[in-house]
Structure 1
Amino acid sequence: MVAALLAVPFVAAVYRARAAGWVPSGDAGMIGLFARDVLHGHLPRLGTPSTAGLVSDAVAPRHPGPIEFYALALPMAALGPTNGMLFWTAFANGASVLVAAWSAFRRLGPGLGLWAAFACGALAWSLGPAALVDPINSDAGAVPLLGLAVLAWAVAAGDRRLLPLLALWSAYYSQLHLGNLPLGLALTTWALAWPLAGWALPVVRRRRWRRGRRRTPAPPIEVVAAGVASDPSAAAPDGPSPARSGGVAARWWPWALGALALTLVLWAPVLVDAAAGHPSNLRLIWEYGRLDDRSAVGWRSGLRQAGHALSPRAVVLRNGLQPVDLRQPLSTRGAVGAVAVVLGLAAVVARHRRRRPELALLAGTALAFAAAGAVVGAQVPTLQVFRLGYFRWEAVVSALAVVALGAAVLLEVSALRVARRPLVREWARLFGAWLVIGITVLGAAVAGPKHGREDDGYAMERRISAAVLPSVVGKEDVLLVPYGPLASRSLAMPLALDLEAHGHHVTVPDFEADNYGDHRRADRTDPDVVVVLGGSVGQPKPLPGPLLLQFSMDTERRAAVLELSEQARSSAVRISSEGPALARAAGVDPGTFALWVQRLPDEPARYLRNETALRLFQAGYLDAPQLDRSRLAELLDPVHRSLWSQDTVQVTILTPEQYRATYGAIR
């Protein structure tokens, strides 16, 4: 029943996405293209391109590995690009929550396991439905990180049978994104350090005994991580299933070998690139991590992030938090609260080190994870500070802390005489079940955001595909030329995925080849037809060739832009006598702005999307041309439907000869 409840938010998220008309937009389309390559003879060895090159001119590594492409290949082939990506992402995320809850049940027992299931289910409430089905690599690791963290704790606590699952979740999470790799390695190292210490301690003790010292009995591996030699369930009325005994090395090595074999398989493409690449992507990642030419946010920011993660206002129990919220300075009350949580977790470690070692280790894992998150967070480049909240590690640390502190409180309460009564225990179990039901309802029906960051583009992408696909029937090789951020970063990739799903081979110009794969470079084949896809603000410039489609996301604003553009072209620029003073009041240099605005009649759309220029025009900066102030007010309305700062799309179809005559050689 608990497993079914925890799965409900993910099923609901798929339903919502399909109802909203979700398509693999932007980077999701890029991921879909590389996933398609897996079954079409182009096995990827690397992840998607990263933005590391924006903060350093020295190296620009790609994301660590292609594991998501291989995972998506069969679902996409069986269900189509859209359904395949949605269902796989929901499955991977749902499986992560279920594995985390199941692992907690194994180590903590049914009563405390129910509390852990509530905290695991709360992650769906915290992130919201849109994140539960988002395959973009910066978001796709948020829920698997919970599975990895709980598995790391369980293996550290001696659950050897979970080693293969640890290998699977570690590889999946770590390969998705550059920002995931250090956290994934840290958690995996934490998990393996405790069993290795358990094997090493008896060796050290034997050596000491041989030197004539008194021999100290070695504890069983299941509890050596916490330093006790008793059954971890013996001291608690609601303990875990009994630990398996006997043959420590003999019982660990089959699972360890299985995990090692699985690791080699999952990392095989990355290892092949490491051997064949010149230089390899792993080397580029290493060099990027050592660069000192990128300004990082620093330790203060890292500690601030850890403070938010350990706040008494648990991140995992709060919905609607934005990345910017986790970058804000902590208030005095917030800092004191975070310190109190740290002290509380430390108290759990101290009190339960011998009584409930698995609980003490869980509290220690939360503290160690927060420390690792602070270290990694401190290294984020200042130019990419907006990405701090995308990896969601704060919510996972918060979940671990909630489980550890809540379990410690429940153990103290269960020790009271009144709590030992059968009726009280029965009511406590019912209350735990209702907690899980409640968080399920919140995650499935109430949580937001319900729509993704590309929602405004879904209808545009479907409309573009519906127009382009009939126009290229019978054309095998299609050259797709996107220009403008709306086209290149959002619309072109799902169109390419649709074209290939309908049997066409897509190529792109060299400047887009990194995003589509080297085998899709335009110079590799002579196209049968060229599709030019452009984005703009307002009325675009006419393109050569037959116009297949042109439309705007915001028709009312487009009408205002068209009218103001005509007015702007009506005369040369003449600045009013109040213009310089208005410019100074707006915080711009009067001379520089006066020089910049002279090209208004030539490129009106450029100026009509600049908020400072619009406000100055409305305030009377210009004597000529005369611009309608009510129309300017419409453009200043903050409710502006746009994507990538553009709102208008046009598509033209050219023959290769027309393209060469207009743009030059195809490359």
Structure 2
Amino acid sequence: MTTSAASPARGRTPGRRHGGSTAAGAVDAARGRVTRLATRAVHHPLLPYVLLALLPILAAAVRAWVSGWAPEGDDAIIGMRVRDTLSPNLPLVGMRSTSGLEDPALASHHPGPLEFYLLALPAALLGFSGAGLVLGVALLNAAAVIGTLVIGWQLGRHRVVLPLTGAVLALEWSLGAALLVRPLNTFVAAFPLLLALVSATALLLGRLGPMWVFALSATLVAQSNVAYAPLVAAIALLLVVVGLVRWWRLRHAVWPLPGWRPRTQQHRRWGPGRVTFAVLALAWMPPLVELLTATPNNLTQLLAYRADGAQQGGGVRPDQRLSFAVGQLVPVARLGRYGDHLAVPPTPAVAALGMIVVLLLALAAVGGKRRVTTRRPWTVGRCACALAVFSLAAEVWALSFLRVSIAAAYWLLPTIVVSVFAWAALGIRVLELLPEGVRERVGRPARLAAVALLVLALVPTLTTPTDGAWRGSRDAQQVSDPVVTALRERVRPGSDVVVLPAGLWPYLSLASAVGFQSERAGFRTYAVSAWPYPEDMAHRQVDAAPPDSVRVFLQERQADGTWPQLPPGTERIPLPAVEGRPELAFSLLVPPASRRIAGS
């Protein structure tokens, strides 16, 4: 009896010790796995390329933080839209486009708000400040760069990663330090487009792992700006056609019928296709909601804008479109730096040189010896060159959306991305065509020399002055800081504040800058101009402000030297003069119910 009664007690004690040892063993095993992964990452041959490519982005972010960069203009509106992602007023479409400048009936937005949602968490960590936006853009660009190099490593190791690193550095040089961390939707799409091109190359080679990467990056690019959407649509259509043909050849059935498949390709519960479908469903859900609930919806407006341009003949002539598309392959003007000069058509000589590069790409895609070590006739270099030619042709078509009266350099930013990818494709193809023995003999010295050149290429990117590019932010802060200080001193916290600009500079830059900063100060702000149709940003429009709102007047002196009339009771508050800017007046009208009580 004693023995049997004691047995459970003796049995329970080892069980507790065993459970504790099991938990400790699991922790040790997890720690060991993390240690092994960290060791592998530190010693991975890809790491030097990644560090080289990320250094300009890191340097740009640090320079922006040190300078105290704060958003103004469209950047400030993006900052407010990012804040909306964590509010009941969720963004459903992208930023306002310029389609309504000539005809307000054609007013539309860029296709989607994915950028706002991706920047939300980093921005929230730093209180939705300018530093938070910089952090979000830096992380977004860094993720795109890392994804580009990781996929390149999977495709061909050093032979592919080395040219791709050069392409990344060239794109960083073209944008410059100021634009590498600017949240404006046009620039945010540049590195994701490069990632989309590299992942599309992998898909064309039959590697389905990066399918979801292409879906996410291409969606971000297409939603960010209408200028990118036609190019992304053309590449996606190419991939769909290639995928359908391969499905038929492999399974002898039309997709989505399963047909026959080899044992090595049996069904997986969460294969690349299903993951991609989930990514697309989440990324396109907000525009789909807008499509079903808004009248007129954004898609209808974009199609109307396109149809109106075709009827009016407002697009760029075909010969100029070709010159614009291929001219960036030969970056003569300002050594490929992005700027307003891009809106000027390239000279015939530059266009001719660009056509020679296109011819080289075509020859590289179809010429050369086929590798006998693989069943696939298409190598990485051949496939990348073919995709570059296709993308340039698609960009010629995409530029037909450009209206001459509102020509802007940002419409041509996709051609810069395609151009750096094209040169990387040529570099990959050249390395493929080198004899195996030559690659083995000169491989390591050549890689070291190439990496040294890449390091030298970092110097102009890291040392480029940003004073001119960040002047708008600096000038806007000289106005927004005293305005917000006056609001804090005179207005009750949480009051409604409407910002009313008069003049070009207040309208384009200052109103949104003041709105962004005053919202961070705890006021409910209305600082966005009215819109001819219902939109998801209606709660921020000036005409949505309550009648008893605090009014902030930002006014430029009129051409006759007088100031616009103000309502009775308005207090004029001095502002410091901003060098090189129009003379500005700041006035404040505070209703009695919103006045701050002394000492509160």
Given the two structures, how large is their TM-score scaled by the length of structure 2? 0.80
Match of 1:181 among 211, 226, 229: 229
Cα 1:297/1:310, change in 2 over 3 Å: same
Match of 1:302 among 321, 328, 337: 321
Tell me if structure 2 keeps the 8 A contact 1:32–1:85.
yes
SS of the residue corresponding to residue 585 of structure 2 reads strand
Measure the CA separation in 2 of the matches of 1:325 and 1:75.
33
Report the Cα offset of residue 378 of structure 1: 2.7
Look up the equivalent residue of 1:427 and give its one-letter code. P
Tell me if structure 2 keeps the 8 A contact 1:129–1:450.
no
Match of 2:585 among 633, 650, 653: 650
Tell me if structure 2 keeps the 8 A contact 1:13–1:132.
yes
Report the Cα offset of residue 340 of structure 1: 1.8
Match of 2:157 among 106, 109, 119: 109
Tell me if structure 2 keeps the 8 A contact 1:35–1:72.
yes
Report the Cα offset of residue 540 of structure 1: 5.6
| Stretches of structure 2 lacking an aligned partner (at least 5 in a row) | 1-47, 255-259, 372-377, 595-600
2:575 equivalent in structure 1: 550
* Structural mapping, 1:585-664, within 5 Å: 641-642=580-581, 647-656=582-591
The answer to whether 1:127 aligns with 2:175 is yes
The answer to whether 1:530 aligns with 2:578 is no
Look up the equivalent residue of 1:38 and give its one-letter code. T
Measure the CA separation in 2 of the matches of 1:6 and 1:161.
23
Given the two structures, how large is their TM-score scaled by the length of structure 1? 0.73
Q: Mean Cα displacement is larger for which, 169-178 or 649-658?
A: 649-658
Report the Cα offset of residue 264 of structure 1: 0.6
1:435 equivalent in structure 2: 453
Match of 1:348 among 357, 364, 381: 364
2:210 equivalent in structure 1: 162
Cα 1:86/1:256, change in 2 over 3 Å: same
* Structural mapping, 1:233-244, within 5 Å: none
Measure the CA separation in 2 of the matches of 1:28 and 1:509.
13
Report the Cα offset of residue 652 of structure 1: 1.1
Report the Cα offset of residue 420 of structure 1: 3.6
Report the Cα offset of residue 267 of structure 1: 0.7
| Stretches of structure 1 lacking an aligned partner (at least 5 in a row) | 207-217, 221-244, 555-640, 660-667
Measure the CA separation in 2 of the matches of 1:74 and 1:649.
36
Match of 1:403 among 418, 424, 443: 424
SS of the residue corresponding to residue 44 of structure 1 reads coil
The answer to whether 1:488 aligns with 2:507 is yes
Measure the CA separation in 1 of the matches of 2:99 and 2:552.
30
Look up the equivalent residue of 1:164 and give its one-letter code. W
SS of the residue corresponding to residue 106 of structure 2 reads coil
1:211 equivalent in structure 2: none
1:520 equivalent in structure 2: 540
Measure the CA separation in 2 of the matches of 1:60 and 1:453.
29
Measure the CA separation in 2 of the matches of 1:450 and 1:82.
18
Match of 2:166 among 94, 118, 122: 118
Look up the equivalent residue of 1:517 and give its one-letter code. M
Tell me if structure 1 keeps the 8 A contact 2:112–2:223.
yes
1:284 equivalent in structure 2: 301
SS of the residue corresponding to residue 447 of structure 2 reads helix
Measure the CA separation in 1 of the matches of 2:168 and 2:74.
28
Tell me if structure 1 keeps the 8 A contact 2:193–2:221.
yes
Tell me if structure 2 keeps the 8 A contact 1:2–1:436.
no
* Structural mapping, 1:126-275, within 5 Å: 126-202=174-250, 247-248=264-265, 250=267, 254-275=271-292
Tell me if structure 1 keeps the 8 A contact 2:497–2:524.
yes
2:522 equivalent in structure 1: 503
Tell me if structure 2 keeps the 8 A contact 1:130–1:451.
yes
Q: Mean Cα displacement is larger for which, 263-272 or 392-401?
A: 392-401
Report the Cα offset of residue 246 of structure 1: 6.3
1:425 equivalent in structure 2: 443
Measure the CA separation in 2 of the matches of 1:62 and 1:257.
30
SS of the residue corresponding to residue 72 of structure 2 reads coil
Match of 1:324 among 335, 341, 363: 341
Measure the CA separation in 2 of the matches of 1:553 and 1:658.
33
Structure 1 stretches of 4+ with a deviation exceeding 6 A read 447-450, 512-516
The answer to whether 1:462 aligns with 2:488 is no
Cα 1:458/1:149, change in 2 over 3 Å: farther
Tell me if structure 2 keeps the 8 A contact 1:543–1:652.
no
Report Cα offsets for 1:47-75 as digits up to 9, x if no partner. 22221012345422111111122222222
1:361 equivalent in structure 2: 383
Look up the equivalent residue of 2:499 and give its one-letter code. L
Report Cα offsets for 1:242-268 as digits up to 9, x if no partner. xxx963464697111110111011110
* Structure 1 vs Structure 2 CA RMSD: 3.1
Report Cα offsets for 1:441-462 as digits up to 9, x if no partner. 3322347787336243343333
Match of 2:142 among 94, 98, 111: 94
Tell me if structure 1 keeps the 8 A contact 2:482–2:575.
no
2:67 equivalent in structure 1: 20
Paired residue total? 526
SS of the residue corresponding to residue 652 of structure 1 reads strand
Cα 1:360/1:251, change in 2 over 3 Å: farther
SS of the residue corresponding to residue 146 of structure 1 reads helix
Measure the CA separation in 2 of the matches of 1:512 and 1:326.
28
1:371 equivalent in structure 2: 393
SS of the residue corresponding to residue 575 of structure 2 reads strand
SS of the residue corresponding to residue 267 of structure 1 reads helix
Match of 1:49 among 96, 119, 141: 96
Cα 1:445/1:414, change in 2 over 3 Å: farther
Cα 1:267/1:329, change in 2 over 3 Å: same
Report the Cα offset of residue 321 of structure 1: 4.2
Tell me if structure 1 keeps the 8 A contact 2:555–2:564.
no
Cα 1:71/1:389, change in 2 over 3 Å: closer
Q: Mean Cα displacement is larger for which, 254-263 or 172-181?
A: 172-181
Q: Mean Cα displacement is larger for which, 520-529 or 5-14?
A: 520-529
